[in-house]
Amino acid sequence: MRRTSTSLVAGALVATLAWASAPSSPAVALDPAAGVADLALDINKILSDSRLTIARAGVVVKSAATGEELYSTDAGKLMTPASNTKLFTAAAAVETLGLDYRFPTTVLNGGRRIGSVINGDLVLRGTGDPTMLAEDYDALAAAVARSGVKVVTGKLVADDTWFDSVRLGNDWAWDDETAYYAAPISALTASPDRDYDAGSVIVTVASEGGKVKVTTTPETDYLKIVNKATVGTETDVLVERQHGTRTVVITGTVADSYQEWVAVDDPTAYVAALFRKSLAKHGVRVLGPTVPGAAPEGAAELAAHESMTLGELLVPFMKLSNNIHAEILVKAMGRKAANQGTWAAGLKVSTDFAKANGVQVINMRDGSGLSRRDGFSAGSIAQLLGAVRSKPWFQAYYDSLPIAGNADRFTGGTLRSRMRNTPAANNVHAKTGSLTGVTSLSGYVTSADGEPLVFSIMLNQYLSGAPKDIEDKIAIRLSQFSRANAADVPASPQLRATGDSGAGDLECSWLKPIEC
């Protein structure tokens, strides 16, 4: 049984009588307490959905202006947040690193230079930039060539020591190891596109001239492609990297074209392969092998690239719910605060930040929410959302959240197909979260009275079909909330499909190239 605040239960009885005796239209004027009770009654009706009969629901609504609790059910229960975890990661990262923080990537002379020859090693050093593209590594190689270097007698050293060597979260699912949304974390990584899906490669399978052609973006021979697919009358193809290897096996039938984002096995080795190829293209020969390692003290800089600012990175990170950005930021925080680019050090920063802002119920195991051992309460999320409103960086944080019903991909993000043509459209700014059996939606909405509200909706352990429409109904009801008037809307408004495109329980952004 769900527990609702005692004051709301009493108020709901008053609202029931008032609502039952009032005409359905126009809206009936009520005192402020009755408006709150009317809200509680409607949310309770929405949560009575049969899909939640055996599930768990934690919901909190507060006035952002006063902190007054307007609705609460199981507010203190520990629940799986999925990508709502990113709300904490993003806030702690901006507080710790600053909106102007950038990730530098440098090329260093690790030997002694004589004319056009480096007697010694050439070092490529990264600090975790998730926005590096193959073209950026190519630009670094071109800069090395422009500096006059033609020959490196030693090795190409890939320096990823800014972070530790632990690539995957301890609690991540084994069968996600090849998925781009769970790609390995490294201080040297590369993205195939401007969604900045670091640590992955796009594999394109197409039917051309009666044969199946396979290409990669970026073009690379780092992956070993085993093409077993055949031309058919429909496209039903599986692109799968074998666990712990560089081998990608393609099976099934291909009628037109299909793309799959595939995580590489080792981002550092992959980046080094891209960079070495670019060096050769620009006329720089490295005589020795490629090895991992650390740059020697005092190594001279030959070329450098800086990422966009963290303030700019918040947009693809939060709008598209990018897991790799979250984990890179965790390790970057650890490096900044404790000189340790580890999950443990970074998660301590996030947890300490949350506790300093009044959050009580929190268990962070990673920065993205991939771990099923992450635990938050709806009350804790609402507390964080309220607390950060006073931060000098709040506007950038708020603007980075997906916006309901806004079709622009980098504005609406994972909410771009939800709550369209409702009072919540272009009003609700909130973070989505999805795992199998888990969905969450937490953020901000402005009421019909113009009052800013914070809310957190967490639904766990349902058995079929992600009930995201329940989240949407609550969010729409909040956008219509008035302290002075009962909402002239059905308790369970009918909604169009939430835009999962048949995607089930996964974050829409995880299922490229499906748009949601």
| Separation CA 387–CA 353 (nearest Å) | 11
Q: Report helix, strand or coil for 137.
A: helix
- How would CATH label the architecture of 104-165+267-308? 3-Layer(bba) Sandwich (3.50)
- Model pTM above 0.95: no
**What number of other Cβ atoms are within 10 A of residue 338's Cβ?**
14
* Distance from C-alpha of 246 to C-alpha of 255, rounded to nearest angstrom: 26
What is the per-residue pLDDT for 31? 64
Residue numbers annotated as active site: 83, 86, 321
Q: For CATH 3.50.80.20, list the domain ranges present in the chain.
A: 104-165+267-308
Residues counted in the chain: 516
CATH 3.40.710.10 positions along the chain are 6-99+312-510
> DSSP strand E in 16-140: where?
56-63, 69-73, 104-109, 112-114, 117-119, 122-125
At 361 the pLDDT is 82
> In percent, how much of the chain has pLDDT > 70?
88
Task: Write the class of the CATH domain 6-99+312-510.
Answer: alpha beta
pLDDT in tens, 301-350: 999 999 999 999 999 999 999 999 999 999 999 999 999 999 999 999 99
First to last CA, the chain: 33
The model's pLDDT over 6-17, given as tens digits with 9 standing for 90+, comes to: 333 333 333 323
Residue 57 to residue 377: CA distance in whole angstroms: 10
Tracing tokens 């033609």 back to the chain, one arrives at 150
| Residue showing tokens 């030959």 | 302
Residue type, 506: L
In this prediction, residue 485 carries a pLDDT of: 74
pLDDT digits (tens, 9 = 90+) for 341-383: 999 999 999 999 999 999 988 899 999 999 999 999 999 999 9
Q: Provide the mean pLDDT of the chain.
A: 90
